[in-house]
Amino acid sequence: MTMAVPAGRGLVDDVRVDGREDAGRRPDPEVEPKARRRSFSAAYKLRILNEYEAAPDGQKGAILRRESLYSAHIVEWRKAREAGALAGLSKP
């Protein structure tokens, strides 16, 4: 369905071009200016690994969702723990 609307009637344009260089540019309040990676302490990683490994199969996903983590975090943290315990986990 196509609807024809006459220009200038009943329409409000929030962003108008008025000749200024920055006219019409508004920062998006939902987006951070620069993305940052999260960093986790060695103690946090060990606590989550222990909790994850002790949880029954049906509860492991709930832990990841609660902590906003991915299963890849668990895999990498296990490798780091096996490679050098706390020394490997303290690296960013």
Identify the domain containing residue 51 by its residue range: 42-89
Question: What does pTM read for this prediction?
Answer: 0.56
Q: For residue 87, what are the contacts with CB-CB under 8 A and spacing of at least 6?
A: none
Specify if 61 maps to a domain. Answer: yes
Count up the domains in the chain and report the number. Answer: 1
- Decide: helix, strand or coil at residue 42: helix
Query: pLDDT of 78-90, one tens digit each?
Result: 998 888 765 545 5
Categorise residue 7: left if φ over 0, alpha if ψ from -120 to 50, beta otherwise: beta
Specify if 22 maps to a domain. Answer: no
Specify if 4 maps to a domain. Answer: no
Query: pLDDT of 51-71, one tens digit each?
Result: 999 999 889 999 999 999 999
Q: Are 42 and 90 in contact, with CB atoms under 8 Å apart?
A: yes
Q: Are 74 and 67 in contact, with CB atoms under 8 Å apart?
A: no
Specify if 67 maps to a domain. Answer: yes
Specify if 25 maps to a domain. Answer: no
